[in-house]
Amino acid sequence: MSQNKTTHAVPNRAMPQTATEAHRHVGDAAGLRILVTGANAGIGFWSSLQLAGRGAEVIMACRNTRKAKAAAQAIRARVPAANLRVVELDVASLQSVSETAKELNGLTHLDVLIANAGMVHTPRTRQRSMDGLELVAATNYFGHFALVAGLLPVLERAAASRVVALGSLSTLLVRPRLDDPQLLRNYSSWLAYAQSKIMLQSFAFELDRRLQRSSSSIRALGAHPGYSISGRTPAVVGVNEPRAFKRATDTLQAPFAQGKDRGAWPIVRAALDPEAFTSEGPVFYGPNGWVKGGPTTTRPASITTDPHAAKTIWNAAESATGISLLG
């Protein structure tokens, strides 16, 4: 294992603007082992594809292993030498998270954990996970909190590892109810999604603060994909197959929307950018056009960088999961 894994990272510039350019720098991630949750579709699939194309070993952690294997096959069709591994993970189940963390701690090291899996199309009425937690918060935040806690040992064994949490533009658009993290009162599907993303994003920045205080070699940061939609995304059999009507309606949004292939660029940048280790937090990446464009560092929603809110959000996860992390 090299002394500094970040020597393989993407140069600090905007991602290429064409599909050909996007895969020109194969080898940037050579030697890195990267875990992507929810890797079988959406941003997770495209992040996995681009990282595999750059030479990384990608562990695709997915709830549905059949879909994950189909996605892996699609990646190999585009990157024949792709080094992929599929593991089963349901982030909405604390037992599944614990079992997967135990399995992956048998690895020599883990360089990057991308906390991508999540519910975008949230239920209209409040639902509970098998652990009795509000389902959207359990999937988007609590499960990843537990996964990070379980994988800290294998992350520490890497020379310089990082945790990347997927944020969202929705964090700028709502006033969260942090006194009710599981929305026991006045649930709404939109608030459930946006609040879960606020909590995950805040967790990443607070995790980074606590890791730095403990002199850990791990960094934690965030990234968001802008406004990335299926109808603007290249078709991939078994992964992204929008119908003609969806293509047509999404094309009308072209001035302020992009495909999920481009939405993955800030996530890949966050996973590989060497400057993430020299920048003072919070470190956050997104499209340079806010909703679309090449990746750049950007300013996160203020609520996600508030230390007081972060303490409340952190405590909510410890209470929900029963896990004490970096206390």
**Annotated catalytic sites, by residue?**
193
Task: Identify the residue whose tokens are 């037992």.
Answer: 95
- Angle among Cα 297, 40, 272 to the nearest 5 degrees reads 30
Look at the alpha carbons of 147, 36, 133, 311 in this order and tell me if their dihedral is positive or negative: positive
Please give the Cα distance from 71 to 86 (Å, whole number): 10
Please give the Cα distance from 204 to 155 (Å, whole number): 15
Is the separation of the CB atoms in 35 and 59 below 8 Å? yes
Is the separation of the CB atoms in 162 and 281 below 8 Å? no
State the amino acid at position 285 in one-letter form.
Answer: Y
Please give the Cα distance from 264 to 268 (Å, whole number): 6
Identify which of 104, 310, 98 has the alpha carbon closest to the alpha carbon of residue 210: 310
Please give the Cα distance from 187 to 213 (Å, whole number): 36
End-to-end CA distance of the chain: 30
DSSP helix/strand/coil, 310:
helix
